[in-house]
Amino acid sequence: MNSTTQKVENINLEINKIFSEDTDKKKKAIGLIHRVYLTQLKNSRLYLASTKTKSEVRGGGRKPWKQKGTGRARAGSSRSPLFVGGGVSFGPKPRLVSKKVNKKERRLAILSALYLKKKQFVFVNEVAFNEMNAVKTKNILKLISDLGLNTTERILFILTKPNKQFWLASRNLKNVEVTTANCLNIEQLLKTTHIILSNASLDSINSIYGKQYA
């Protein structure tokens, strides 16, 4: 293990400044986490199913048979929903679905999820993120192995600012995700097994999701 990576076993002192206040409130926020998670799933879903109505189906401009005298029910178009090959009544159409969550609720949910995941925190020096000059997946693998972790587990890197080189180097690893402190989302936090961050990342999280907003 080199000087740029260090695994912190006992992080209670490290995260006291962000999680010491209202810990009971964060423990009780399970329902809020669940609601924010479902809202995120709802907003990320694409409603693309589409069917054609009677007027959108090709053809059907000629009246199938005369109005009277055939003994059959009157019909004006062979593309009526009553016919095979006709349009669909009240079928699905592409639509936008948006569900709102209050900003303070979302911040509290993310902070609470972080609190519940605090035992999975692994701290590294900020240099480990910044020194990624070349786009090499093996550099990410070395960093992960130096921390005693395995790429078969879900790993989330939380950076202080966007790092394109780091992101490009890690995108070939299916269980590794990279995000920044201001772009955290509930799904990433809940599904990850280990969270790798620096003290600077923790300070950013504190400034964005800290007590002044919760």
**Tens digits of pLDDT across the chain (214 residues):** 444 444 443 344 445 544 555 555 555 678 889 999 999 999 999 999 999 999 999 999 999 999 999 999 999 999 999 999 999 999 999 999 999 999 888 888 888 888 888 888 888 888 888 777 778 899 889 888 888 888 889 999 999 888 888 899 998 999 999 999 988 999 999 999 999 988 888 888 888 887 554 4
CB 72 within 8 A of CB 65: yes
At residue 198, the pLDDT reads 87
Coil, helix or strand at residue 109 = helix
Q: E strands of the chain, at which residues?
A: 121-123, 155-159, 176-180, 194-197
CA distance 155 to 177: 6
At residue 7, the pLDDT reads 40
CA distance 12 to 28: 20
Q: What's the alpha-carbon Rg for the chain, to the nearest Å?
A: 27
CA distance 188 to 177: 8
CA distance 111 to 121: 14
What would the two tokens of residue 43 be?
Answer: 């907003």
CA distance 129 to 131: 6
Q: What single-letter DSSP state applies at residue 174?
A: T
Task: Give me the amino acid identity at 27.
Answer: K
Task: Give CA torsion, residues 12, 159, 152, 119, to 10 deg.
Answer: 10
CB 53 within 8 A of CB 91: yes
CA distance 30 to 190: 11
- List, in order of start, the domains of the chain with CATH numbers: 16-28+100-209 (3.40.1370.10), 46-96 (no CATH)
CA distance 2 to 108: 36
The DSSP-derived string for 177-197 is: EEEEGGG--HHHHHH-SEEEE
At residue 8, the pLDDT reads 41
At residue 119, the pLDDT reads 86
CA distance 150 to 194: 10
At residue 2, the pLDDT reads 47
